[in-house]
Amino acid sequence: MRKATIAGTGMYAPDRVVTNQFFNDLYKKDIGT
């Protein structure tokens, strides 16, 4: 459920909920930078 909420926000991804790697794989780029 929380992942769905974070995915809905798009760019905002607190690492306590999901890791940057999750979004790196999702968007194929480094969100951390």
Q: How many angstroms separate the CA atoms of 19 and 27, rounded? A: 13
- Give the number of other Cβ atoms within 10 Å of residue 23's Cβ: 21
At residue 14, the pLDDT reads: 56
> Hey, CA dihedral for 22, 27, 28, 32, is it positive or negative?
negative
At residue 26, the pLDDT reads: 73
At residue 10, the pLDDT reads: 55
Predicted confidence (pLDDT) per residue in 1-33, tens digit:
455 555 555 555 555 555 667 777 777 765 555
CA angle 27, 6, 33 (to 5 degrees): 45
Q: How far is CA 23 from CA 2, 10, in A?
A: 14, 9
Taking the model in full, what pTM does it have? 0.24
> Domain coordinates of the chain in residue numbers?
1-33
At residue 25, the pLDDT reads: 76
